[in-house]
Structure 1
Amino acid sequence: MNAVLTTPSATSSAFCADAAIDSAANLSPLQAVIFDWAGTLVDFGSLAPTQIFVEAFASFGIHITLAQARGPMGLSKWEHIHQLLQDVSIAAQWQTAFGRAATDADVDAIYARFMPMQIAKVGEFSAPIAGAVELLQWLRAKGLKVGSCSGYPREVLSRLLPQAAAAGIAPDHVVAGDELSAGGRPGPFMALANVLVLGIGDVRACVKVDDTVPGIEEGRRAGMWTVGLSLSGNEVGYSLEEFAQASRQEVEARVAAAEAKLRKAGAHYVVRSVADLPDVLAQIAADMRAGHMPG
């Protein structure tokens, strides 16, 4: 089942959180929703990591574009850098600059340069995405647990989480991209770590919400329902200012491409932002009551 839901907020010319939260909606038998962070709950456009990757590579004399930097988004940051170094044009630049192919030691060196830059900047991108605070309140009122995981390492999350919490974003559990020995995305491990800590009895009663391909693959491999987010996330990549200035035609083209990519990754549903999730969650719950499971 791959579906795309559109709502009033999905077709407006300016981003807003108009989607009504139906207090009477029946979410049984769902037990938990597990969210990504940047581009999902906070940081519209997933901007915090992107420019830092560009700057970190530039400090080694390597030019990467914002589009290249966004490519592996959702992976742990070390793995993200490793994947960027496999890009043909980036690998060629490295070969020219250093006379050899990049090694894991080079990934370590770029990561070491990236980390303090990311820690210094992440707090500037802690603002909740419109509708996120109200959504978490609604989920808790419905008796659902709220989990989360991120490609950010714990050191970065330690800077982000207090600011997000002060703004109303405080999941019941948070898993960082560098703290599981089994690894991160696209494997199921961070999502399943939430299941264990939150005491969820059935992974099929969980919904993984993410704006990246690795995050959707993570949820599918964990046996969960998956919902992709297009407009607010990495695949579209607008800042709020850029979005406000973009033509409707450009916005719709970017959103369509993002939706197609997330559906191809296996998303059961795709919407534009967390503001549109209540209707999706009610539909998933109805699917389950009708006997459908996330296969």
Structure 2
Amino acid sequence: MNALKAVIFDWAGTLIDHGCLAPALAFTTVFERLGVPISAAEARIPMGLPKWEHILAVGKMPRVSSDWAKRYGHAFAEADADRVFAVFEPENIRIIKDHSAPIAGVANVLSALKERGLRMGSTTGYTRAIMEVVIPLAAGKGVAPEQVVCAGETQEGRPSPLMLWKNLVELGVWPADAAVKVDDTPVGIREGRNAGCWTIAVTETGNAMGLSEDELNALSADERTRRRQLIADELLEAGAHMTIPSVRELMPALDLIEAARAQGRKP
């Protein structure tokens, strides 16, 4: 059998929150509140990591760590990541309520996947506390993967394969190359490759593009293409087997993977 068995999704920037706006806004808000402002671009660099590790990565950026030392008398350290996280999580919960809308076309695609007999799971850099807000809001609009594995629920987070493998175990899906990981970040794509899955990267709705649907549509055709290609290059370099603009274009991409499997190809 060459048919795929499961698709494992990322959340923000892939299924919901066009442009992955909520986490970027939460990071910039919290660091500014603590007296060390960061840019949205800086906040987005480690996107896809579990949120505590993301905070630590931002804090250890030379510019940020230097400013932190000026403000607090020492370079950013793990204890500081704990301090930031304690403020970040409730702020992200507050913000996510306004950024949990499904990306256009996602609900229809998930319905088509179900009709095709594919199982659906997900991994996220969000904690369970954040996802407890997101899950019912998204489910009410037709986005409800069977499994949700959150940051902190495995010994290691992304880019390790453990969160993805936990999905496959709970779904009863094997081998790993019968599953596809769909993500908008290099970290998430590496998770899929490390797990032995096929990987499809999303280029227009995610963190790297960083735009709402209206902002994306306001770009000229040439500028949109230019940005999309730059993002695709980065995600292909991270290991993506192919790229699509959004989950809306997923079904034909899955057909291509099934055709590759029919020819005996592996991820």
TM-score normalised by structure 1 residue count: 0.89
Give SS of 1:124's match. Answer: coil
Contact 2:49 2:157 in 1 (8 A): yes
What residue number does 1:221 align with? 194
Give SS of 2:20's match. Answer: coil
1:183 deviation in Å?
1.4
What residue number does 1:137 align with? 111
Q: Which moved more, 1:136-145 or 1:217-226?
A: 136-145
C-alpha RMSD of matched pairs (Å): 1.1
Q: Deviations over 1:179-204 (max 9, x none)?
A: 21x11101001100000000012101
Q: 2:182 aligns with which of 209, 216, 220?
A: 209
5 Å matches for 1:1-295? 28-180=2-154, 182-294=155-267
2: CA distance between counterparts of 1:154 and 1:39?
Answer: 18
Q: Which moved more, 1:91-100 or 1:216-225?
A: 91-100
Q: Deviations over 1:115-172 (max 9, x none)?
A: 1111111121111111111111111111110011100000000000000000000011
Give SS of 2:53's match. Answer: helix
1: CA distance between counterparts of 2:214 and 2:245?
Answer: 17
Q: Deviations over 1:221-261 (max 9, x none)?
A: 00000000000111111112211322223222221111011
2: CA distance between counterparts of 1:270 and 1:198?
Answer: 25
* Counterpart amino acid of residue 207 in structure 2: N
Gaps of at least 5 residues in structure 2 are none
Gaps of at least 5 residues in structure 1 are 1-26
* Counterpart amino acid of residue 286 in structure 1: A
2: CA distance between counterparts of 1:237 and 1:283?
Answer: 28
1: CA distance between counterparts of 2:113 and 2:141?
Answer: 17
* Counterpart amino acid of residue 17 in structure 2: D
Give SS of 1:125's match. Answer: coil
Contact 2:120 2:146 in 1 (8 A): yes
Contact 2:60 2:77 in 1 (8 A): no
Percentage of identical aligned residues: 42
* Counterpart amino acid of residue 146 in structure 2: D
Q: Which moved more, 1:74-83 or 1:126-135?
A: 126-135
1:100 deviation in Å?
1.1
Q: Which moved more, 1:214-223 or 1:55-64?
A: 55-64
TM-score normalised by structure 2 residue count: 0.98
1:63 deviation in Å?
1.4
Q: 1 or 2 for the larger relative contact order (CA 8 Å, sep ≥6)?
A: 1
What residue number does 1:6 align with? none
Aligned CA distance change for structure 1 residues 203 and 151 (closer, same or farther; 3 Å): same
1:28 deviation in Å?
4.2
Aligned residues: 267
* Counterpart amino acid of residue 133 in structure 1: A
2: CA distance between counterparts of 1:257 and 1:283?
Answer: 23
Could you list the structure 1 runs, at least 4 aligned residues long, displaced by more than 4 angstroms after superposition: none
